[in-house]
Amino acid sequence: MERISCEVLVLGAGPGGYVAAIRAAQLGLDTVIVEKSRTGGTCLNVGCVPSKALIHAADEFYAAVGATGGNSIGVYVEKPSLDWSKTQSWKDGVVSGLNRGVDGLLKKSGAKMVAGAGRMVDGKTCVVETGNGDIRITAKNVILAPGSVPVELPGLPFAGAVISSTEALSLQRVPGKLAVVGGGYIGLELGIAFAKLGSEVAIIEATGQLLPQYDEALSAPVAKRLKDLGIAVHLSSRARGIVEDGAKLEFETEGEGTSQIAVEKVLVTVGRKPNLLGWGLEELQLDMSGDRILVDETCKTSMTGVYAIGDVTGEPMLAHRAMAQAEVAAEVIAGKKRVFDPVSVPAICFTDPEIISVGLLPNEAEKSGLDIVVANFPLSANSRAMTLESRSGFVRVVARKDNGLVLGIQATGKQISELSASFSLALEMGACLEDIARTIHAHPTQSEAFPEAAMMALGRGLHI
């Protein structure tokens, strides 16, 4: 068995893992990263990136269909068709290009890549099963980044017609009838995309509201868009199983009883959970809270020299959170003083329209006992939104009433996700309403809605 010794071993090359390896190597630490699949993890290969590529393709096709016979801005096309295999090839090309980019970055940093299934045998040792035999890696420090896996429903195990988001992104053809179980951001993003591609889509959501992680003001524009797209929505409903040899999905709606709908595919998107199986967790003495590994503000676990980052440490399971934790862990190992203590972790829902949430929602701020002010600026009063044929949506600020400190910022609208950076920066820098209101924002851009909302909160709105 080949043996390797190093200062830092990173288990998993998803967004958190590869960033940890790159940063550790940049800091002069002898670093080895282990990955059994392609670099980039779920996000790059079967999640964030390919889903956004598919959403873009769906938007382009839907716009072309909408221009059949002419549209309001004077574009006229004959009825378009979709070459699905070419769409998939383009999407896969985006992913492959980014894979090569990550591989190149790891190589440039000096981190050594070991391709194979790694399994921890103790807090310092990992055995990797490769195509050329096992490799035993001993490290002074270990960073665990095994990621997460889709949650499977007991009555709808992943097989045949029942698929997860992974399979949804590599379907051989666009399904004629698609049921989406779960009305969270993953289900709605993909459900909307397939509806635009021509699928007959139905959403089955257990709670009484779509996108339950947001308040109704943010989710309402998406609910309206679902109706416009002809997507059937069944709230307070629970999927029971596949019947009639996979031809129908049975679900039960609170107060209405059991119903069935015809399906070709059933996409289950009821969440993700930390990946705790297959990499040797049982060989480690780690403090846990349910199914997540407990870490402190430096990403240290309860074992000396063992760190954990990303989805395995719990919510929010977002790539950018994992990346931020990765830098902290690598720098702490290198002897630097760092803590993971963000003011907020931005969340974006790439639905139609898009949703951003940074910091506290109004109800969350109220629960903290603070006296707050909340103000919305509608995008119907924003010139750039009009030029994008988008009159729905808004930017909202939540701030303390006494000193104007901004506690949260939310928005919904077309292409609004790009404002997330300025929203996050405002919170991280401790901006007050006056800071935002007095910062010049370029005209015409949707970003102008940000200072307008701040001015409304201050009682001096200009363009409404």
* Active site amino acids: 443
Would you say 448 and 464 are in contact if contact means Cβ atoms under 8 Å apart?
no
Q: Give the integer Cα–Cα distance in Å for 269 and 150.
A: 7
Beta-carbon neighbour count of residue 224 at 10 Å? Answer: 12
Would you say 299 and 329 are in contact if contact means Cβ atoms under 8 Å apart?
yes
Q: Give the integer Cα–Cα distance in Å for 272 and 148.
A: 6
Which are the contacts of 403, defined by CB distance < 8 A and separation ≥ 6?
Answer: 432
Q: Reading across the β-sheet that carries 162-163, which strands appear in turn? A: 162-163, 265-268, 177-181, 200-204, 232-234
- Whole-angstrom distance between the N-terminal and C-terminal Cα of the chain? 72
Rg of the chain on CA atoms, in Å: 24
Does a cis peptide bond (omega within 30 degrees of 0) precede residue 146? no
Amino acid letter, residue 297: E
Q: Give the integer Cα–Cα distance in Å for 280 and 331.
A: 25
Q: Give the integer Cα–Cα distance in Å for 210 and 30.
A: 47
Reading the block at residue 425, the tokens are 């920066």
The total number of residues written for the chain in this structure: 464
Q: Measuring CA to CA, how many Å separate 26 from each of 30, 49, 108, 193?
A: 10, 26, 9, 40
Amino acid letter, residue 273: K
Would you say 28 and 7 are in contact if contact means Cβ atoms under 8 Å apart?
no
Bridge partners, residue 400, by sequence: 372
